[in-house]
């Protein structure tokens, strides 16, 4: 049975460690947080993800998974640590560097190191390899190094961890083959082998592809508002073309992936990434665009109150990182507007959260910011009785607008110039 050490027990590391453990590997999960280590050792979890608690509990119960603050000698070391962006929009690679240094004293010839963290192209070659070189290892000969970027969607992590295709970049063919043997034991999707830097680029460009396409949707939505037509009609009809797939317009792009990863390329190649930079700015500008729409709806109302629905970066998750909904609320508050915020998923928030009743009570404009499914079941007839002015701005095209109009609401949809269509 192979012994595996997973460094970093976050959204990727913990599911990976527990899936490996349930596939017969003897796994040590390592984290710098005592709270995380204690929680996992009790069979509990510190993050919200459907199905994860069951898998972790079973893995701990089987004795195949343990958590610790320190790595131990192992056959395989996974590095699943954050690669955030600093205020200067540069990748902060200090966690990857520290994780590599932390496993160094436990490495032996023949071991395999797999970087899973999304990283700027060149990280394995220019950051990890020199650390291993300095410690006297010959990478590709007596130590194997591979990059296998995670690709899972929050909310569907366990399913996608097993079903998604994987790209494995090796520091030479032997490294890629060694990593393939590990992933082949639990991945049901296809596995493709390449070199490390190609694998790093594949991951970053996947998220950049998404960012640029969402920016195109958002830009088209703004044009549709000016033309007094509806973006959602345009997208629905354009997408009947076999090679067109307009993405969904909205209040912006959040999360710790799509809004961050393009900067890894922009930072390295500022002159050759103008398209990516324009896309980032378009998406980052959407919260201010939403605020303009809200201001238009409440113009002329004395001491207006806005009811904001949703604070998470996307529907049905509790994650607020880089959330455009949060930015909209902050921008409105900075203008001195009273905003009551509701989110059924977010538990810890820097902004005070209200119950749905308090949120709507006396409101002059309801702005739907996050596409949580729960909001589809709101009763506009009841809510029309408690608001002061019945106005709705749906920035996600989520609600049944006919129903809300019938209940007396004036309805604005992001990407549409028309009111009360």
Is residue 15 within the footprint of ligand SAJ (CB under 6 A)? no
Is residue 250 within the footprint of ligand SAJ (CB under 6 A)? yes
C-beta closer to ligand SAJ: residue 313 or 404: 313
- C-beta of 86: minimal distance to ligand SAJ in Å? 18
Is residue 210 within the footprint of ligand SAJ (CB under 6 A)? yes
- C-beta of 220: minimal distance to ligand SAJ in Å? 12
Give the one residue of 26, 174, 198, 248 binding ligand SAJ; rule: CB under 6 A: 248
For residue 168, which phi and psi values (nearest 5 degrees)?
A: -120, 120
C-beta closer to ligand SAJ: residue 3 or 46: 46
- C-beta of 63: minimal distance to ligand SAJ in Å? 30
Is residue 254 within the footprint of ligand SAJ (CB under 6 A)? yes
Is residue 151 within the footprint of ligand SAJ (CB under 6 A)? yes
Residues 6+ apart with CB under 8 A from 397: 232, 248, 249, 413, 414, 415
Distance CA 311, CA 324 (A): 8
C-beta closer to ligand SAJ: residue 67 or 157: 157
224 part of the active site:
no
134 part of the active site:
no
Please report, as residue ranges, which positions from 311 to 350 form the binding site for ligand SAJ (by CB under 6 A). Answer: 313-314
Pairing mode, strands 391-394 and 338-342: unpaired
Instruction: List the x/- string, 86-125, binding to ligand SAJ by CB under 6 A.
Output: --------------------------------x-------
Is residue 207 within the footprint of ligand SAJ (CB under 6 A)? yes
Is residue 79 within the footprint of ligand SAJ (CB under 6 A)? no
- C-beta of 284: minimal distance to ligand SAJ in Å? 12
C-beta closer to ligand SAJ: residue 206 or 358: 206
Out of 257, 359, 365, 391, the active site residue is 257
Is residue 147 within the footprint of ligand SAJ (CB under 6 A)? no
- C-beta of 361: minimal distance to ligand SAJ in Å? 28
Which residues contact ligand SAJ by CB under 6 A?
A: 118, 150-154, 206-207, 210, 214, 247-248, 250, 253-255, 257-258, 313-314
Annotated catalytic sites, by residue? 203, 257
């Amino acid at each position: 049975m192979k012994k595996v050490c997973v460094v970093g027990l976050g959204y990727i590391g913990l599911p990976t460690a527990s899936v490996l453990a349930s596939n017969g590997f003897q796994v040590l999960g390592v984290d710098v947080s005592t709270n995380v280590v204690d929680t996992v050792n009790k069979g509990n979890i510190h993050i919200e993800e459907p199905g994860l608690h069951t898998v972790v509990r079973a893995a701990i119960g089987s004795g195949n998974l343990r958590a610790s603050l320190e790595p131990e000698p192992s056959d395989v070391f996974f590095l699943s640590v954050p690669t955030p962006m600093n205020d200067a929009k540069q990748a902060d690679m200090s966690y990857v560097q520290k994780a590599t240094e932390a496993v160094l004293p436990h490495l032996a010839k023949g071991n395999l190191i797999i970087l899973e963290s999304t990283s700027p192209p060149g990280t394995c070659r220019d950051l990890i390899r020199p650390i291993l070189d300095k410690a006297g290892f010959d990478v590709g000969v007596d130590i194997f190094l591979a990059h296998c970027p995670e690709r899972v969607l929050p909310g569907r992590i366990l399913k996608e961890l097993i079903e998604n295709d994987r790209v494995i970049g090796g520091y030479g063919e032997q490294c890629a083959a060694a990593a393939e043997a590990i992933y082949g034991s639990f991945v049901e999707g296809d596995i493709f082998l390449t070199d490390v830097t190609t694998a790093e680029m594949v991951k970053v460009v996947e998220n950049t592809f998404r960012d640029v396409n969402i920016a195109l949707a958002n830009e088209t939505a703004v044009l549709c508002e000016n033309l007094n037509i509806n973006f959602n009609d345009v997208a629905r009809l354009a997408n009947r073309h076999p090679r067109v797939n307009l993405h969904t317009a909205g209040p912006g792009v959040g999360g710790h992936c799509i809004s961050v990863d393009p900067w890894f390329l922009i930072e390295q190649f500022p002159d050759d990434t103008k398209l990516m930079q324009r896309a980032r700015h378009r998406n980052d500008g959407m919260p201010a665009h939403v605020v303009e729409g809200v201001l238009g709806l409440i113009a002329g109302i004395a001491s207006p109150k806005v009811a904001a629905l949703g604070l998470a970066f996307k529907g049905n998750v509790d994650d607020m990182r880089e959330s455009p909904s949060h930015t909209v609320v902050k921008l409105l508050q900075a203008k001195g507007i009273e905003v009551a915020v509701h989110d059924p998923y977010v538990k810890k928030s820097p902004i005070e959260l209200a119950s749905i009743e308090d949120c709507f009570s006396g409101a002059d404009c309801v702005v739907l910011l996050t596409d949580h499914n729960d909001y589809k079941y709101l009763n506009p007839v009841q809510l029309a009785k408690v608001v002061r002015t019945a106005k709705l701005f749906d920035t996600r095209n989520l609600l049944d607008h006919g129903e809300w109009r019938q209940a007396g609401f004036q309805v604005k949809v992001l990407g549409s110039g028309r009111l009360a269509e």
